[in-house]
Amino acid sequence: MSTPVVSKPPLVRSRVWSPLALLVLWELASLSGLIAPRTLAAPHQIVGTFVELVRTNELPSNLLVSFGRVLAGLSIGVTIGTGLALASGLSRDGELVVDSPLQMLRTLPTLALSPLFIVWFGIGEAPKVALIAFGTVFPVYINLYSGVRGVDVRLVEAARSFGLTRRELISEVILPGALPSFLVGLRYALSVSVLILVVAEQINASRGLGFLINNARDFMRTDVIVVCLVVYAGLGLGADFLVRALERRALAWRPSLLGS
């Protein structure tokens, strides 16, 4: 009996056509005057602005500054979140000391803390990095804590029956078991870091993507604003791609990632 041939869906049903149709409508509306340039620049103008910003090195240099802020804040936040999650997840005493304050702090709107951070750290780089660090602590903490506490008890009992010490139990059983949860928290933290960066760079920034946006706003350059927003989105997508690649490598032992 021959295997039926499954026909592929028509090209018109491909997901790429909807965004392309929107771009065409946007371009036509801009050319016909329905959308004024001061309201929203046309796609062809945005592409030309992007090329010009890259050619003059204005976009790459400011992007590098923004990337450095994200990297610094994320490094601090992930380190603190990981340490607190391990302290709380591996010890009942640690949970009593750490978990309650963090559960209260995580309900605070991170962006609403910017005035307080300016008072504490001034208007330089410190409040921007501090905001990103603060916002990225909680996704890592919550997911890793849940991962540590969610390790199968039968695995822990089996490891103890083989005579593993507490240190070996943590390093050989608990931490590998909690790794998927940590990577989920890292993905959330990366997304949060980019979102906070957008607002943090509005705090008296003299360099960075936020600086470009502020200048473009003053001169009604919607083309530059859209270019920077697209770059922000690209940062988020790139960060998510990196974590997914890390997941495939670090969790290759999981059957679900091997396709079996």
The predicted structure's pLDDT at residue 223? 87
User: Tokens standing for 196?
Assistant: 């906070």
Q: Please name which of 181, 185, 160 lies closest in space to residue 172, comparing C-alpha atoms.
A: 160
Q: How crowded is residue 258: how many other Cβ atoms within 10 Å of its Cβ?
A: 10
Q: All domains of the chain, ordered by start, with CATH?
A: 50-252 (1.10.3720.10)
> Which whole number is the average pLDDT over 52-81?
91
Strand ranges (DSSP E) for the chain? Answer: none
> Which whole number is the average pLDDT over 41-67?
89
pLDDT tens digits along 183-203: 889 988 988 888 888 888 877
The predicted structure's pLDDT at residue 135? 92
The predicted structure's pLDDT at residue 4? 52
The predicted structure's pLDDT at residue 115? 84
User: Tokens standing for 107?
Assistant: 């309900």
Q: Which residues of 221-241 are buried (b: 16+ CB within 10 A; e: fewer)?
A: bbbbbbbbeebbeebbeebee
Q: Do residues 196 and 111 make contact, with C-beta atoms less than 8 angstroms apart?
A: yes
Contacts of residue 74, Cβ cutoff 8 Å, sequence gap at least 6: 132, 133, 136, 189, 190, 193
Mean per-residue pLDDT over the chain, rounded: 82
d(CA 190, CA 219): 31
> Which whole number is the average pLDDT over 140-167?
81
pLDDT band at 81 (very low <50, low <70, confident <90, very high): very high
Q: Which residues of 130-140 are buried (b: 16+ CB within 10 A; e: fewer)?
A: bbbbbbbbbbb
pLDDT tens digits along 235-257: 878 877 888 888 777 776 665 54
d(CA 197, CA 204): 13
| For the ranges 20-29, 56-65, 153-162, the one whose mean pLDDT is highest | 56-65
Q: Do residues 175 and 217 make contact, with C-beta atoms less than 8 angstroms apart?
A: no
pLDDT at 78 over 90: yes
Helix (H, G, I), strand (E, B) or coil at 121: helix
Phi, psi for 74 (deg, rounded to 5): -65, -40
d(CA 47, CA 17): 19
pTM here is: 0.78
The predicted structure's pLDDT at residue 254? 63
Q: What percent of the chain has pLDDT over 70?
A: 90
